[in-house]
Structure 1
Amino acid sequence: MGRLPCCEKAHTNRGAWTKEEDDRLIHYIRVHGQGSWRSLPKAAGLLRCGKSCRLRWLNYLRPDLKRGNFSEDEDKLIIKLHALLGNKWSLIAGRLAGRTDNEIKNYWNTHIKRKLESQGIDPQTHRPLNETSNKNSSPAKAKPTAPTVPKSISFATPPLGFKYSVFQVKAKSESIEGGNDSSSDMTTDEQQQQQHELNLELSIGIS
């Protein structure tokens, strides 16, 4: 079950606050303090939402509210706090007396952000812009690729002379290995000589 609304919006005023409403809110808070914003509108006699009363008081009516342009010291403090806290405007406003979070956020986007960019500083990282751009544009390391292996290897058709020489050498080789009578009568030197001729014929046939 969700949280109940702080008031019935059907019976509340909307739009700009009147001077009479501002005076009622200021008088009640001076006498009773802020208290609970949910019950404050009814106790102060205002037909307003509790959230509307809170924002009206914090952003426009509280006595310590600072108006006017931001000083140079405030600019430096905002930049320093933004570098530590980021876009947490409510925390930043808590460290600047009299300034609201919405006011600081608007001032950051309209003035300080452009000021930092003109000085070559990234408003988000608070580092030099060229350093940020170099990191973003640095090429990724190329992954090593595996060597390509051809799927198939095709050979040209050998010449007729090659086939003839192969058959001739094969036949001679079979005659030697078969141990026929002529080869069995050969001496070792003669067999080596014949093997040399066989290898020679084989090389000539392949070329």
Structure 2
Amino acid sequence: MGRSPCCEKAHTNKGAWTKEEDDRLVAYIRAHGEGCWRSLPKAAGLLRCGKSCRLRWINYLRPDLKRGNFSPQEDELIIKLHSLLGNKWSLIAGRLPGRTDNEIKNYWNTHVRRKLVSRGIDPTTHRPMNWPSASQQSKEESREKCPDLNLDLRISPPRQQQQQKQEVFKTGTSSTLCFACSLGIQNSKDCSCTNASANSGHDFLDYRRLEMK
């Protein structure tokens, strides 16, 4: 079950507070303190909701309220606190004596946001508006950590084949090598080279001749 309402709204006054109601609320709190807001209206002789009495006292009647416009120092403090706390207006109001959370929230939405935008600052992130987003920063960081790799891979012939080509180029002779010899596999049974040992300058063992013998 949910929490029961603080009062019977059908039997409470609504709308603007009168001076007589304000005087009753102030006199009761001065004499007895704030106490429990749910029972305060009946004890003070007010036909008001407990929530309405609390908001009326906090936002308008308590003696330590600061009236008038916000000072430039308060503006800068609100900006600094908002960059640290976000939209936690009650915590921000605790750092500005005499100001209420509702008053600070309204002032932020009507004045401070516009001031930051005119400075070229994002009122949400408190960074320059041309500042890259978090996704763009992560992409740039990943690029720095993992530079582009050159995947242009090439398959080169074995070193022995390159040496043979160099010898052929020097001696002017040529030889026909099979697939096994081109891979550098010596004495392969699958060798089908023609005159490989004579033309290449290497003495390969011909297993075919041994088998015939």
Aligned to 2:97: 97
Q: How many residues align?
A: 141
Aligned to 2:39: 39
Q: TM-score scaled to structure 2, two decimals?
A: 0.62
Q: SS at the partner of 1:131? A: coil
* 1:50 corresponds to 2:50: yes
Cα distance in 2 between the residues matched to 1:132 and 1:8: 53
Aligned to 1:65: 65
Deviations along 1:40-90, one digit per CA (max 9) or x if unpaired, are: 000000000000000000000000011110001101110110000000111
TM-superposed CA distance for 1:138, in Å, is 10
Q: TM-score scaled to structure 1, two decimals?
A: 0.64
Aligned to 1:149: none
Deviations along 1:82-110, one digit per CA (max 9) or x if unpaired, are: 00000011110111101011111111111
Cα distance in 1 between the residues matched to 2:120 and 2:66: 31
Aligned to 1:123: 123
Structure with higher RCO (Cα < 8 A, 6+ apart): 1
Cα distance in 1 between the residues matched to 2:113 and 2:132: 16
TM-superposed CA distance for 1:132, in Å, is 4.0
Aligned to 1:16: 16
Aligned to 1:200: none
Cα distance in 2 between the residues matched to 1:103 and 1:89: 9
TM-superposed CA distance for 1:35, in Å, is 0.3
Cα distance in 2 between the residues matched to 1:70 and 1:132: 33
TM-superposed CA distance for 1:137, in Å, is 11
Kindly provide the amino acid, as one letter, of the partner of residue 20 in structure 2: E
In the superposition, relative to structure 1, how do residues 134 and 44 fare at CA in structure 2: closer, same or farther (>3 Å)? Answer: closer
Aligned to 2:84: 84
Cα distance in 1 between the residues matched to 2:134 and 2:95: 34
Larger Rg: 1
Kindly provide the amino acid, as one letter, of the partner of residue 68 in structure 1: G
Cα distance in 2 between the residues matched to 1:24 and 1:43: 10
Unaligned runs of 5+ in 2: 143-213
Cα distance in 2 between the residues matched to 1:128 and 1:46: 51
CA RMSD of aligned residues (A): 2.0
Q: Which consecutive segments of 4 or more residues in structure 1 shift more than 2 A?
A: 132-141
Kindly provide the amino acid, as one letter, of the partner of residue 46 in structure 2: L
